[in-house]
């Protein structure tokens, strides 16, 4: 096959098609737990997270609240995946070997937000208030409030279920603002690693627990199994029904197919290599900690 501008255009059009098809077909889960935050520059400041909005009775002048002295900035980072195409493979018309790579690149680009968002499920990453997002030391009206536990997720007995899953739900229902008003937080999503999938299913689907007692938590949440979680014991509860979700996927540039096809480029001249792949600019971060509860499961 003669390598000229028309040939290169056709070759990379086919690779782009393979990439886009795989991108469109790839399953993703990040949007279930995170909000997409458009970004128009190098970074976004989320100082507004210091106030959980609530309506109040209007008597006299409006009660104007100032943002707390928090600065929570998410800086966009560059992300990429790149594949080389040997000019000899174009000349020899053996480009079929690159179709799976283009598809894999498209699949990876689509699932990139999943990797970014679910990497935030840990007990060290800090939120807008300067302490870990899952912590026992969130300040509300000067007092410590916890959205972190250690109980293993369990269906062994009704008491064990209440002490783990039930304790997390109760803690979230009790979250209040600085004025002592409830925030109406209700857990609707249980996030577990694959090792706890059977426990999560039993907790949310079964009529009875392993001790034969009624299961008070049947149907109380949807189960989300996340292979990216770091341990086999950690689990999380989230309220995902509010406008601001617990996590943030900040998008400056969505993943896009890119190519380098200039036959005069140094890599082509020196090494016979054309390139294609995906690029993105994005960042991940935390929303309201009041919408989440995490347990290490370490007991």
H/E segment holding residue 267: helix 266-271
DSSP letters, 105-172, are HHHHHHHHHHHHHHTT-SSS-B-TTSSBSS-S-EEETTEEE--EE-PPP--SSHHHHIIIIIHHHHHH
pLDDT reading at 54 higher than 80: no
Asked whether this chain's domains 5-54+70-120+252-286 and 138-246+290-295 adopt the same fold, the reply is: no
Domain chopping of the chain, boundaries: 5-54+70-120+252-286, 138-246+290-295
pTM for this predicted structure: 0.87
More confidently predicted of 141 and 284: 284
* pLDDT score recorded for residue 2: 63
Cα dist from 169 to 41, 42, 61, 73, 193, whole Å: 38, 37, 37, 30, 19
Using a 10 angstrom Cβ sphere, with 0-12 exposed, 13-18 middle and 19 or more buried, the burial of residue 210 is: middle
Closest CA to 117 of 278, 279, 295, 251: 251
Q: Are 219 and 204 in contact (CB under 8 A)?
A: yes
CA 189, 192, 280, 49 torsion-angle sign: positive
pLDDT reading at 55 higher than 60: no
More confidently predicted of 49 and 185: 185
Cα–Cα distance measured from residue 278 to residue 262, given in angstroms and rounded to the nearest whole number: 17
* β strands within the chain, DSSP E: 34-38, 43-45, 73-75, 77-86, 138-140, 143-145, 148-149, 189-192, 222-225, 235-238, 247-260, 273-286, 292-295
Cα–Cα distance measured from residue 254 to residue 7, given in angstroms and rounded to the nearest whole number: 28
Under CATH, which number does the domain 5-54+70-120+252-286 receive? Answer: 3.30.2400.10
* pLDDT score recorded for residue 62: 40
More confidently predicted of 61 and 37: 37
What average pLDDT score do residues 82-96 get?
80
Looking up tokens 């293993």 gives: 152
* pLDDT score recorded for residue 274: 85
pLDDT reading at 108 higher than 60: yes
* pLDDT score recorded for residue 69: 45
Q: 138-246+290-295: which CATH topology?
A: hypothetical protein PF0899 fold (3.30.2320)
Span 175-187, pLDDT tens digits: 998 888 899 999 9
Q: Are 219 and 207 in contact (CB under 8 A)?
A: no
* pLDDT score recorded for residue 198: 98
Span 61-71, pLDDT tens digits: 444 444 444 57
Cα–Cα distance measured from residue 173 to residue 146, given in angstroms and rounded to the nearest whole number: 12
Span 216-268, pLDDT tens digits: 999 999 999 999 999 999 999 999 999 899 999 999 999 999 988 787 788 77
pLDDT-derived band of residue 205, with 50, 70 and 90 as boundaries?
very high
> Does residue 88 sit in helix, strand or coil?
helix
pLDDT reading at 30 higher than 90: yes
Partners of residue 77 on adjacent β-strands: 282
* pLDDT score recorded for residue 260: 85
* pLDDT score recorded for residue 64: 41
Round the average pLDDT of the chain to a whole number and report it: 90
């Amino acid at each position: 096959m003669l390598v000229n501008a028309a040939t290169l255009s056709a070759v990379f059009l086919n690779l782009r098609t393979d990439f886009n098809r795989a991108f469109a077909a790839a399953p993703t889960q990040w949007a279930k737990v995170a909000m997409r935050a458009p970004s128009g520059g190098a970074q976004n400041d989320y100082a507004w997270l210091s106030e959980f909005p609530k309506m109040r009775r209007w008597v006299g002048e409006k009660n104007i609240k100032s943002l707390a002295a928090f600065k929570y900035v998410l800086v966009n980072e560059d992300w990429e995946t790149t594949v080389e195409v040997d000019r000899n493979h174009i000349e020899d018309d053996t480009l079929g070997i690159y179709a799976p790579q283009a598809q894999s690149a498209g699949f990876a680009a689509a699932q990139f937000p999943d990797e970014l968002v679910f990497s935030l499920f840990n007990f060290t990453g800090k939120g807008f208030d300067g302490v870990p997002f899952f912590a026992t030391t969130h300040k509300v009206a000067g007092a410590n409030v916890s959205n972190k536990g250690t109980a293993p997720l369990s269906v062994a007995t009704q008491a064990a279920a209440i002490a783990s899953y039930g304790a997390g739900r109760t803690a979230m229902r009790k979250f209040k603002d600085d004025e002592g008003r409830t925030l109406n937080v209700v857990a609707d999503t249980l996030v577990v690693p694959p090792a706890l999938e059977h426990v999560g299913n039993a907790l949310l689907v079964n009529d009875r627990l392993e001790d034969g007692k009624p299961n008070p938590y049947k149907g109380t949440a949807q189960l989300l199994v996340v292979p990216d979680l770091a341990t086999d014991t950690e689990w999380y509860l989230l309220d995902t029904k509010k406008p601001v979700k617990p996590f943030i996927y900040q998008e400056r540039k969505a993943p896009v197919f890119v190519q380098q096809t200039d036959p005069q480029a140094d890599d082509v001249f020196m090494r016979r290599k054309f390139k294609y792949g995906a690029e993105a600019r994005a960042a991940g971060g935390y929303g309201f900690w009041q919408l989440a509860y995490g347990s290490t499961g370490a007991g």
